[in-house]
Structure 1
């Protein structure tokens, strides 16, 4: 009798069988808004830091869920104020990011509407329970500070908008 005789359904050595659990995750859609909030001189941006599940601080743009009756612009301003302590006004849309993740036995498709915002008042505060730290970060450091590539892409777009505005103000052709 060979070493594998008598074993029915045995897998080949070195392979693991994938278990089918018979449970499917419910898929839900979530929509949020937030953005890149700049100081009046457009030299610094307010970022939030959150700890990931490994205890690493990840810096990102403030954002959060849309409440009933709110527009995406109103949500962006409210979330910036709640998460950073900074009051801001929306200047223009920057773009939309969507991504998937699993949480609480649900598969979540998240869409986040981002805006370029300008600070109008307030002081940095990390009182929001979801935020570990907040900071004004120089625009020149955003690409190396932000944890997520999609947010870094939005920052590049904002820099292009600033450059265009600057050229227009100086009377240079675009």
Structure 2
């Protein structure tokens, strides 16, 4: 079975911080990650990334550039699932940080220079390095 999702790193350029989400794993540990979710019918990956970032963090963003794609396998309900996640760099345009999404335990603004050490997943940490390069090139 294949699943496709999209998400992003939304950056507030005035503060130099990014909005990230914390989810509880099966053992009750809080794991920080980038907001992401399923691409809905008729939606582009970019549109899904903007929507998911807003749904999971409360922050309205605009896509600046693609960051890359992560794909992995996991088992759900005794089925192997191949998941592909398209990630984008977004500029924060407005909104208020909130964790109203039931799937999200916490949300936080994290300074970009602390982001790599905060994120739980190596593939997402790699995307942060790419985002940092893009942000430095555009400064």
The alignment status of 1:121 with 2:94, answered yes or no, reads: yes
SS of the equivalent of 1:33 reads strand
Structure whose alpha-carbon radius of gyration is higher: 1
Q: Which residue is 2:7 aligned to?
A: 34
Other-structure match for 2:45: 72
Deviation at 1:105, TM superposition (A): 1.6
Q: Which residue of 1 aligns with 2:17?
A: 44
What is the root-mean-square deviation in Å for CA atoms of aligned residues? Answer: 0.9
Q: Deviations over 1:125-150 (max 9, x none)?
A: 10101000000001011011000000
Deviation of the 1:40 alpha carbon: 2.8
Dislocated runs of 4+, deviation >4 Å: none
Which structure 1 segments of 5+ residues have no match? 1-27, 167-174
1:42 CA drift (Å): 6.0
Provide the rounded CA distance (Å) in 2 between the counterparts of 1:114 and 1:64.
Answer: 10
Within 1, Cα distance between the matches of 2:3 and 2:135?
A: 31
Q: Could you report, residue by residue, the CA deviation over 1:73-122 in whole angstroms, capped at 9, with x for unpaired residues?
A: 00000000100001100001000000010011211100000000011111
Tell me how many residue pairs correspond in the alignment.
139
